[in-house]
Structure 1
Amino acid sequence: MKFMKIIYYKSYFFLFFLFSFSSYCQKVKIEGYAFDKGDNQNNVGIYVNDTLTKFRNQASKTKNWEGYRELTKNKDFVVNTDSTGHFSINVKPTDSLYFSSYLYLDQKYAVADLLKRKAIKIQLEKEPCVPYTSCEQKKPSKFYAFVGTKIDLKYEKNPNYCDMVVMDAKYKALYKIEKNLYGNFKKDTISFTAFDHYGIPAFSKYEHVLLFVSEYCNKLFHEKYQYFDVYKTEDGKWARPGDPYKQEHNTEKTVTIKKISFDKNVWFDISDLTTEQIEENYPAAYFRIIDQKAIPFMGVYAEDLVEIKKLGVLKARNITF
């Protein structure tokens, strides 16, 4: 009889656990109003568990940005208010909601706390503005060119300046220096700020990249959009396959493209490309096409790539070295 009671109590506990777990996972509807300006231009984003920020930070490390745009459209994670401020979203009781709008301070609420309210009305506060201090330095005090490997790249929100609007996204980058090509940076890692009008800096897609960084007013900045993706050669040097002048406009062509023995692991997957795309991106003059791979055999060494930028874009930016 005692044994039967134990089984009964255990069964009761197991059923209670299943009920509690089901309630824990079941979604509830959160509906209310959120405002920034409080007028017909209202546009507040509501994010579940700050999912977009976490995804963006993870993607910057893994280089996998597929699905980000789709995620922003997934109403399980993101919704926006309409012009009246109304929003509705289905979430778990254990979730948190982040309310965000450009130039307004984010607000975070636990869903469990929102469920206790009779009515939900969120009013975001304007982010305090700060005066913009410009750097009047016309030429960099120092300039560095180096081959680097990404350690970290993080998005940083621009300050809310009182008298100007910054249209570029801001990123803080940390790179390991594989080879100094100009400027002889003293440390083996370098931290700098990168601005990009189109979002994530394109150079961050590559494992190894030749970067150009200038110092203005005691701060290091990436020379906007200037880089070359580079790859190891059999003799341990760094080089870029193909024609480096393809994207370099109004540049004097003084560097000769040479035959280079790249490392055997340097090749490019072309299995998903059309014939036209292969001819455009991997021309036969510089690449051999073997078994759905583009294998480079012609290119330019990193030292000569620096010379190309020196006589082109950097010269136009009044950077001489």
Structure 2
Amino acid sequence: MQGFKPESETNKNYRTRTDNLLNFEIKAKLSDSLFFESQYHTTKKYLVADLVKKKKINIKLKLEPCEVWPSHSEEEKSTKLYVFIGKKIKTWVSPLGYCNGVSLDSRTLAKYLVIKNIYGDFKKDTIQFTSYAHSYPMEQNYIPFKGSFSEYDYCLLYVLKYKGELIQVRYLFDDIYMTKEGRWASPLKPKGLFHTISPDLFKPEKINFITPIEFEYEEKFEKQIKQNFPEAYTKISDGKITVNYGFYVEDLFEIRKTGRLKEYDYLIK
């Protein structure tokens, strides 16, 4: 538990923690307010002038309301796989809570417009699914390449049906962009990203994206940039990287079937 002054105070010296016996000391004026907070509890505010009137101060915080996430047994198999081009409508994250144990996973609810079915023939125009992922995903380090599907407007998404619930295949998605030919494609990623497709294993194609996939980098990272971006498929000059190659969505699905989707062979005809 912690006590500290109002948000108008920026001096971090006005913040303190309790000791092992839950006691604390803090310098404050009678006109100040103290805020008490603790993980998974609702923060409470007290006026110092009111606290000093008490012979004994005993602060008790209430537990925050907590949503219990559904459990998913590793022994039970999914019954359907949907692969589709999706346009983000809305995503919202369920906060980590005491009622879900010590799991470090985060839970994101997502609603998407189904632009095109690639596999599984989802029947509705919109889809709502749940994504479970580590709350601290691997850093991507390269803008515009981000760590979460929810940070993109359009993605090729892979969603399983499990006991009536739609769940995203963990950590698997491909950000996609429209090409000048009216097709959807994903740019080749730099080495080291967790969903990079190696050009040594699968040959990328020259892609004419409507909006060029390019970004700037700081000069101090130039050596790292040149090591991680395949030189044959990207243009690096004057502090700017342009990605000219990638994979069309139809080819992406075939590639993913040899990797992350391989454990779901029983769902793929």
Letter in 2 for 1:232: M
Q: Which moved more, 1:228-237 or 1:272-281?
A: 272-281
Residue of structure 2 in register with 1:117 after alignment: 51
Alignment check: 8 A CA contact 1:191 1:220 kept = yes
Q: Does 1:215 align with 2:161?
A: yes
1:146 corresponds, among 70, 84, 87, to 84
Aligned residues: 249
Aligned-residue RMSD, C-alpha: 4.2
In the TM superposition, residue 216 of structure 1 has moved relative to its aligned partner by 0.9
Residue of structure 2 in register with 1:268 after alignment: 215
Residue of structure 2 in register with 1:81 after alignment: 18
Residue of structure 2 in register with 1:311 after alignment: 258
Query: Greater helix share, 1 or 2?
Result: 1
| Rg comparison, structure with higher value | 1
Alignment check: 8 A CA contact 1:231 1:238 kept = yes
Letter in 2 for 1:145: V
Residue of structure 2 in register with 1:197 after alignment: 134
Residue of structure 1 in register with 2:143 after alignment: none
Q: Distance in 1 between matches of 2:122 and 2:219?
A: 40
| SS class of match (1:121) | coil
| SS class of match (1:308) | helix
| SS class of match (1:213) | strand
Identity %: 31
Residue of structure 2 in register with 1:38 after alignment: none
Letter in 1 for 2:258: L
Q: Normalised by the size of structure 1, how large is the TM-score?
A: 0.61
Q: Distance in 2 between matches of 1:248 and 1:222?
A: 15
| SS class of match (2:130) | strand
Residue of structure 2 in register with 1:301 after alignment: 248
Q: Does 1:156 align with 2:94?
A: yes
Q: Distance in 1 between matches of 2:219 and 2:113?
A: 32
In the TM superposition, residue 286 of structure 1 has moved relative to its aligned partner by 0.9
1:168 corresponds, among 105, 111, 121, to 105
In the TM superposition, residue 280 of structure 1 has moved relative to its aligned partner by 3.0
2:42 corresponds, among 101, 104, 107, to 107
Alignment check: 8 A CA contact 1:48 1:97 kept = yes
Q: Distance in 1 between matches of 2:27 and 2:130?
A: 36
Note closer, same or farther for the CA distance 1:220–1:298 as it changes in structure 2 (3 Å cut). same
In the TM superposition, residue 127 of structure 1 has moved relative to its aligned partner by 7.4
In the TM superposition, residue 220 of structure 1 has moved relative to its aligned partner by 1.5
In the TM superposition, residue 304 of structure 1 has moved relative to its aligned partner by 1.1
In the TM superposition, residue 214 of structure 1 has moved relative to its aligned partner by 1.0
Unaligned runs of 5+ in 2: 138-146
Q: Distance in 1 between matches of 2:67 and 2:234?
A: 52
Q: Give CA-to-partner distance per residue, 1:79-134, whole Å, 9 cap, x none.
A: 6434332264879x7989462324xxx2343445x642335432235679999974
In the TM superposition, residue 155 of structure 1 has moved relative to its aligned partner by 2.5
| SS class of match (2:118) | strand
Residue of structure 2 in register with 1:241 after alignment: 187
Q: Distance in 2 between matches of 1:211 and 1:87?
A: 52
Unaligned runs of 5+ in 1: 1-43, 51-72
Note closer, same or farther for the CA distance 1:267–1:248 as it changes in structure 2 (3 Å cut). closer
In the TM superposition, residue 308 of structure 1 has moved relative to its aligned partner by 1.4
Residue of structure 2 in register with 1:206 after alignment: 152
Letter in 1 for 2:44: Y
